[in-house]
Structure 1
Amino acid sequence: MITLADLPLRDDLVGAEPYGAPQLVVPVVLNVNENPYPPSATVRREMAEAVVEAAGQLNRYPEREALELRRDLANYLGHDLGPENIWVANGSNEIMSHLLTAFGGPGRRVLTFTPTYSMYPEYARNTCTEYVTAPRRADFTLDADLIVDAIEEHRPTVVLITTPNNPTGTTTSLQVIDEVCRRSDAIVVVDEAYQEFARTDSALELMTRHPRLVVSRTMSKAFALAGGRVGYLAAQPAVVDACRIVRLPYHLSAQTQAVARVALRHSDELLGRVHELAETARAFEAWLRTRGYDVVDSEANFTLFGRFADRHNVWQQLLDRGVLIRETGPDGYLRASAGTPAEMAALRDALDDISPTMLGEPTTRVDPVLQGETA
């Protein structure tokens, strides 16, 4: 047997740990922002039939360009987009990896604003792109001057703006994104993984004005398709072509393409829970405020709340009661996804069962750059 220390691992990977949120078998799982409602029996049957049909051609490579799926995604997004404006990959993780492989790399920088999604530094590391950050405002929002000042300081080739932001749920307005695109020549990637839950407009509204604007999405959350691993982007055809250059051949399986197309055909049904989950999260936030918690205003399907003197102790006490949420974000905060009524009741009961003396200023500080969530 050998260990990692015996292998010629890249220097920047020495000491690194594999990324991943806890996957524990507990009654209530509210830690990774999944949609708690699976596809209906009708949709599942159609997905199964599509997979069986695809299996008849598994001796052949899948359709390399996924053109039919890209056409379906363009129709779903609207805004006069066509398949040439869409790129699709194995989750939004691979979308971001394609973008940073194409536009990042040695000697180049990617800029984002903390606290935010904790996979961003790993995308940068894996593509040998320098990762630089600037802090968000005290309320975890962004304004155009803050972003442009950071761009002028760091000179990135790629800027990542996450809205609604993970783990805070805060949004960035179209006016801010529009101004940033006008004042910068960087590739501006607006990560809209939770856009379907938000009340604010999508950056897709700005696509025709700004040729270097990219909007990233996922089917994991709103479409209840986290296990399907489908992420996609909308951009100018030239950006799509750049991703096509760096993608691995046949990167999206035939089964994935088939299941995703079924999901899109049933978008009305699958998205029917989106409003309900957003309202569930907002109701939970209102309940938290009645208990004296500090709650960050969110437009996603999750809530960031605190502040706890020892958040890990609170996380563990909740887990001991069968409720798994996420220890993430700024120091002293925890994050909970919106769940079913029974799951939310269990979370509220567990929080009420924990001593209120858990609230208070944290005694340690954690680098918020390292906090976030899986896609």
Structure 2
Amino acid sequence: MATIIPFRAVRPTRDKVSLVAARSYQSYTLEQLEARLRDNPFSFLHIVNPGYKYDKVISGQERYNLVRNRYLEFKEDHIFVQDAQPNYYIYKIVDRDRQEFNGIVAAASALDYEKDTIKKHEDTIEPREVVFKDYLKTVGFNAEPVLLTYPDNTIIAEVIEATQTERAEFEFTTTYRDTHYLWKVSDAATVAKIREEFKAMPTIYIADGHHRSSSSFLLYKDEKERNPNHKGDESYNFFMAYLIPESDLKIHEFNRIVKDLNGLTKEEFLIELDTIYRIENRGNMPYKPTQKHHFSMYLDGEFYSLYLRKTGYTIETSLDALDAQILYKTILQPILGIEDLRDDARIAYVNGKKDVINVKSSIDSGSYAVGFGMVPVDIEEIKQIANEGLKMPPKSTFIEPKLRSGVTIYEF
């Protein structure tokens, strides 16, 4: 039984939203970040990068305090205004490839996260959880929703479709040619209908945002312990989420590139692979796999197809059957000596939305020695792994949509 409730979002004014909305801070290069901070005084990046005002790199608690100050300034200047009553927010994205995503921005329950009603499929790193929890506690808001997904639901789909016949509160296009739309849902009967439909769902799944959701859960635990009059309806009991139906998710793979062959020659490396894979040299024509347990490899100017030998690998769980796990257990760990997929500097990742040529270029430049590609996972694999309480390897999925920060803000 999922508790998904409306909330009073803090939002940019209609005339400023296109200027405020920003991608995730980490997604910008230093040059891009500098240009946006220099040329756009309304960008949400000014809030999360408060040191720019003082031409100084600021970190830790000092930065958190200044983020809070910049946020309050945006409210004082009426760049941000809080809605008078709780709403659900229908949010639609049409990207440059004409892919369309339709969902609902709402508040999800930290208790549901604890009870595993909200299911996870990725491990989180505790120090990162604590850092972001401390950040949330100081700044008092969350501006980037966790992406949750739910089974396709006819009634919710009808509500979304009917709402979108009205004029949108927001409609703006980014420099990346993605168009964003937002509608408020405040009608009591419609709000109740949405809430009841989610309440009837036994589970929903995190698609993207495991660290954000786990940090929000830690904040909830801290605040609950500190509040002797805790009732369960305080704002810290919830976190902001964007919920979309499973059919709307777009899941890409992450390709792997490795700096060296762990002391092996090319010939020695291929012989090691031959033990567990059928190998075919595809020459210099780009190759991408089309089936599970098939991989592409780019090495020394040539593409190869790798087909897993059925007798050389045992599958006992849904995690064992995951291609990212197979690649790790058969090549990355035993042959290339990569134990820690998160922190080993010898491995990097290229999201599968980018062309296979990106992998080729990294190898051809000499920065990396070998690259591997696979087919994307599907939603059923994600759900099965989550249902079994297992965790995927890092960078197993690159999932869309990606929302902009600062369009809807949840205050604690």
Fold match by TM threshold 0.5: no
- Higher helix fraction (1 or 2): 1
State the TM-score, normalized to the length of structure 2: 0.26
Name the one with the larger strand percent: 2
> Which of structures 1 and 2 has the bigger CA Rg?
2
